[in-house]
Amino acid sequence: MSHVFPRHCHSELPTAVAGDGCYLIDADGKRYFDGSGGAAVSCLGHSNARVRQAIKDQVDKLAFAHTGFLTSEPAEALADLLIEHAPGDLDRVYFVSGGSEAVESAIKLARQYHLENGEPQRRHLIARRQSYHGNTLGALSAGGNAWRRQQFAPLLVEMSHIAPCYEYAERLETESLEDYGQRVAQELEDEILRLGPETVMGFIAEPVVGATLGAVPAAPGYFARIREICDKYGVLLILDEVMCGMGRTGHLFACNADNVQPDILCVAKGLGAGYQPIGAMLCSKSIYDAIAQGSGFFQHGHTYLGHPVAAAAALAVVREMLDHDLIAQVNSRGAYLETQLRHRFGQHAHVGDVRGRGLFWGVELVADRQTKAPFDPSLGLAGKLKKAAFAEGLICYPMPGTRDGRVGDHILLAPPFIASEAELDQALDMLQSALEKTLEAIQT
Ligand code: PMP
């Protein structure tokens, strides 16, 4: 009997024993194409030689040094590399162990920045409905996904939630995409005014929404307007690129596609590419300076900040992406994946929408294409599709629809950047077969 506490208590999980390129292999020798990189993590696949070697070399040299006493070569080099490619005046990097920690750090940094600036009344964080920013209590408070929050509601910090930019479900037929983007962005200004501009510390959003909506980019112009509103009221813009960043959506930093510059930027997942747990929070020079010239101490921290082995792995990951121009490959393979997805599913009676960017794609399932009515959430369609795909040998990331019917069941595809067109074709064969079997099972 397993003593590992699993995510789903009643499922017997196969044991992963090896990774080979885009594939995971279990103890019975069965191969699974990692079509979602776990959850948009494994961007280089599972056996990258350079990253493995970098980890071995670093462990041999220095496994750990507490950042309260010492910095390390790989953390410094990684920070330099990220800053060299980061948008705007992002100037400092705070290394943590994952996405939730990056978001927690961002929330606390935003608060401390305003304190150091003599504005202690700034305490409200505005986020968006149907969002996910992590499972620790601060990050969960920011998230607007009812299902994830429900059980913990009494423990959460009060935060505001405005509409996401989710045109498939929310745009009016009479509205252009741009007008829709401006309308939902306006909700931010309305909420700031409602709360009192002098009390708002920040706004957090994903440039391309991952887990909760399934690879939804914002409407053109949306983030430009959001930036304008934040500037007008002295509100910090925090972008959560934990899922969509690090090349996944066709730029090293996802916000470059929208030409928007955040004050604080969170990355994780693809940064360590699964080889080591690592996340990072990048902040602008003015935020860092406010703290450096104020109290001189960021009142936050974790034991494994700037872990040298994790930093060495991430440094090798980013160098691998840059040296082999893997981001150009994300764009070309992404264009291929989009064409194939549209060809196979674009006219499917139960596929309402195919959307995404780079190698980050969502397929939203609907009971009725015309009305966009989702399937009854109690059918558990996304979960069943995940299982059917897994049986075929495909890992894809499922997300159930919301109970209020605003978001349908969907699945997310985020294959490794190294996937060939032939491998993508095979993955889509498996997805197609799994979808037909699942729909047949729920309709009989
Ligand atoms: N933010 C976003 C946008 C995410 O998708 C996730 C994880 N799915 C997180 C934060 C939390 O990251 P982690 O699971 O590494 O704590």
Structure tokens at 6: 């699993």
Sheet strands (E) in 251-387? 264-267, 279-284, 351-357, 360-365
Domains in the chain, ordered, with CATH?
16-47+325-443 (3.90.1150.10), 51-323 (3.40.640.10)
The predicted pLDDT at position 143 comes to 97
Mutate to test the pocket of ligand 1, among 7, 95, 132 (most ligand atoms within 8 A of CB): 132
What are the tokens at 20?
């080979």
What end-to-end distance do the CA atoms of the chain give, in Å?
35
**pTM (predicted TM-score):** 0.98
**Cα 88 to middle of ligand 1, angstroms:** 23
Residue 144 confidence (pLDDT)? 94
CB atoms within 10 A of CB 305: 18
The β-bridge partners of 394 are 33
Question: Which ligand 1 atom lies nearest to the CA of residue 277?
Answer: 15
3-state secondary structure of 57: helix
Spacing, Cα 77 to ligand 1 middle (Å): 24
Q: Which pLDDT belongs to residue 403?
A: 74
Helix (H) or strand (E) holding 313: helix 308-323
Q: What letter would DSSP give residue 355? A: E
ipTM greater than 0.85, yes or no? Answer: yes
Q: How far apart are CA 12 and CA 6, in angstroms?
A: 9
Kindly provide the residue ranges of all beta strands, DSSP E only, lying in 60-123, ordered along the sequence.
Answer: 90-96
pLDDT at residue 14 in the model: 95
Residue with tokens 């964080």: 125
Centre a 10 Å sphere on the Cβ of residue 335 and count the other Cβ atoms it contains.
13
Pocket of ligand 1, beta carbon within 6 A:
39, 98-100, 103, 132-134, 206, 210-211, 240, 242-243, 268
Q: Which atom of ligand 1 is nearest to the CA of 136?
A: 16
List the residue whose alpha carbon is closest to atom 7 of ligand 1.
134
User: pLDDT tens track of the chain, all 444 residues?
Assistant: 788 888 888 778 999 999 999 999 999 999 999 999 989 999 999 999 999 999 999 999 999 999 999 999 999 999 999 999 999 999 999 999 999 999 999 999 999 999 999 999 999 999 999 999 999 999 999 999 888 999 999 999 999 999 999 999 999 999 999 999 999 999 999 999 999 999 999 999 999 999 899 999 999 999 999 999 999 999 999 999 999 999 999 999 999 999 999 999 999 999 999 999 999 999 999 999 999 999 999 999 999 999 999 999 999 999 999 999 999 999 999 999 999 999 999 999 999 999 999 999 999 999 999 999 999 989 999 999 999 999 999 999 999 888 777 788 999 999 999 999 999 999 999 999 999 999 999 987
Q: How far away, in angstroms, is 204 Cα from ligand 1 center?
A: 13
